[in-house]
Structure 1
Amino acid sequence: MPQMAPLNWLTLMISFSMILIMFNTINFYSFSYQIQKSKTKIKTMKTNWKW
């Protein structure tokens, strides 16, 4: 029946959007940064202002 077609489109849209949301959350929470320990010191330039 053609009257039921919008209901099918609605269920398809809801299912695809839920899959998209779940895929994005899984990718967001499964990503882990590589911790880099840098031993470089930051140089601080002490300026001596002579007024």
Structure 2
Amino acid sequence: MPQMAPIGWLSLFIIFSIIFVLFSMMNYYSVLPQTPKSQLSKKYTTAPLNWKW
């Protein structure tokens, strides 16, 4: 059974690494999280903090 040349292993590693990175990026950026409508209209108010030492 003939063995593969080292340049063959290197090219396979590079090709599979590029495919893995592209696949991971496509999975990460393909889904846009939906923000609930109630949070967009909600105003954040801060209560005054009265510290009693």
Same-fold call, TM > 0.5? yes
Counterpart amino acid of residue 46 in structure 2: T
Counterpart amino acid of residue 8 in structure 1: G
Compare 30-39 and 6-15 and name the one that shifted more.
30-39
Runs of 4+ with >4 A deviation: none
CA RMSD of aligned residues (A): 2.6
> Residues 46 and 16 of structure 1: is their aligned pair in 2 closer, same or farther, counting only changes over 3 Å?
same
Partner in structure 1 of residue 35 of structure 2: 35
Q: Percent identity?
A: 43
Q: What residue ranges of structure 1 are gaps of 5+ in the alignment?
A: none
Size of the aligned set, in residue pairs, is 48
Q: How big is the shift at 1:43?
A: 4.1
Residue 46 of structure 1 aligns to a residue whose secondary structure is coil
Residue 13 of structure 1 aligns to a residue whose secondary structure is helix
Question: Which has the greater radius of gyration?
Answer: 1
TM-score, length of structure 2 as denominator length:
0.60
Q: What residue ranges of structure 2 are gaps of 5+ in the alignment?
A: none
1:23 aligns with 2:31: no
